[in-house]
Amino acid sequence: MLDPYLPLVLLFALAGAFALFSVTAAPYVGPRRYNRAKLDSYECGIEPSPQPVVGAGRMPIAYYLTAMLFILFDIEMVFLYPFAVSADLLGLFGLVEIVLFIVAVGFAYVYVWRRGGLDWN
């Protein structure tokens, strides 16, 4: 009864064995040449600073607006793609719902636009 699932179980067992082997074998076969530069944190080729230079420890609002843009467009695609695939099955109800969704996303887009999140300087 469970015979069709045997290849899947074997594939998961093989993947788990490979992962376990890779983790346990890496310290033995990898290079052991450590120096201070490899153990330090890396920040785009400059010396790491304890606090951000801009604003005496404050993060500029552009970082948060960029994160908001990423989340906004990510969520938009997650909801628009399934709608595009099954638009004919949803009918008028689906059309109304997607228009309401686009209006809500539009409000967030206008907010980011007015706050300067789209001005890449």
pLDDT digits (tens, 9 = 90+) for 6-22: 999 999 999 999 999 99
Question: For residue 34, is it within any domain?
Answer: no
Question: For residue 10, is it within any domain?
Answer: no
pLDDT above 90 (res 117): no
Question: For residue 7, is it within any domain?
Answer: no
Cα distance from N-terminal residue to C-terminal residue, the chain: 62
- Structural domain tally of the chain? 1
Question: For residue 111, is it within any domain?
Answer: yes
pLDDT digits (tens, 9 = 90+) for 80-90: 888 888 888 88
Contact between residue 52 and residue 58 where contact means Cβ atoms under 8 Å apart = yes
* Domain enclosing residue 78, as ranges: 56-115
Question: For residue 108, is it within any domain?
Answer: yes
Q: What percent of the chain lies above the pLDDT cut of 90?
A: 21
pLDDT digits (tens, 9 = 90+) for 26-67: 889 987 777 777 777 666 666 655 655 555 556 666 677 778
pTM listed for this prediction: 0.45
**Interatomic CA distance for residues 102 and 70, integer angstroms:** 16
pLDDT at position 19 is 97
